[in-house]
Amino acid sequence: KGTPLRPILNTIKAVTRPISDFLDELIRPIYNEYNKDNTFTEGVDLIKCLEKYAADGHLKPQTLFCTFDINNLYTMLPQDESIRILGDFLRQHVGERVKSVSVTTIQKLAEFVQKENAFIYDNKFYKQIIGGAMGSPFTLTSANIFMWHWEKRWVRRQQSKKETYGRVSFLDVLVSNNNGALYTSVYHKPSAEPYVVPFISDHPRYTFTNIIQTALVRAIRYSSTFEAFNIERRAIRLMLSLNGYPSIYIDQQFRKVLGYSISSTSILPLIDNEGQFFQLRKKLMGQPTSRQSQVEGRIAQSKDDNAEYPVK
């Protein structure tokens, strides 16, 4: 009590870890399914939501964007209340059993995971009495469900006023309201250095390919204007050059993404016009990202009545 530090422990082999893994695999897909409308998996989700909001005529010159954060949520989570809310969530969306496990049993397992975090230091016994272990897989899911309970009323209020609400867990999208027009682009922290894996490093070739293609696809998806895309593309090329990527190699990867012939003598490969850019952007925005596919896959697996989640 009153100790100004946060202990960091290796709990990979702790007795609570297998149970935490089991609960997370069992419950997280359920949460993802029933709260996906209020959760932005990544920047593309946020942009799609805001573009629809603007297309529906709700974005006005006086519209404000705001975000808020909860400090130390995982370590300040009320244990008994979060366990009760977990039961309420499961009974509301699934029933009294999840697969072959009763909700009561799940709550008891969750209580064990949250309340049995302890260690000995300097011949003194310490036990966590508030929150959960930050590195425990189930702590994230438990915190999300706890917030689901408190967000419900807020979401209904937002929807009744034609406003939009969602969780943002990333910092790579710049969003602004330009007198009623939505503007989005890739956001870079002012302190960020233009560093990626150097081309001379001992990594498989596909690593460098993925770096370039991921950055370029993100630039296309995030850029609401042709100008914003060209600015980001120049920044990508400069970053790659500073890290030793050959110009010929960069051009090859750009061609794979852009999908049409670019002169090999071009210093900076360019899309000819805005029409080509928006056509390509529309195509990419309609494709799921790898993260979105992963989340949907876990949701689909959770619906399989024959799926088993054994405690290891």
Is the Cβ–Cβ distance between 113 and 143 less than 8 Å? no
How would residue 265 be classed by pLDDT, with cut points 50, 70 and 90? very low
- The tens digit of pLDDT for each residue in 81-130 reads 999 999 999 999 999 999 899 999 999 999 999 999 888 888 999 888 88
pTM: 0.76
Q: Give me the percent of the chain exceeding a pLDDT of 90.
A: 50
Is the Cβ–Cβ distance between 180 and 60 less than 8 Å? yes
Sequence length of the chain is: 312
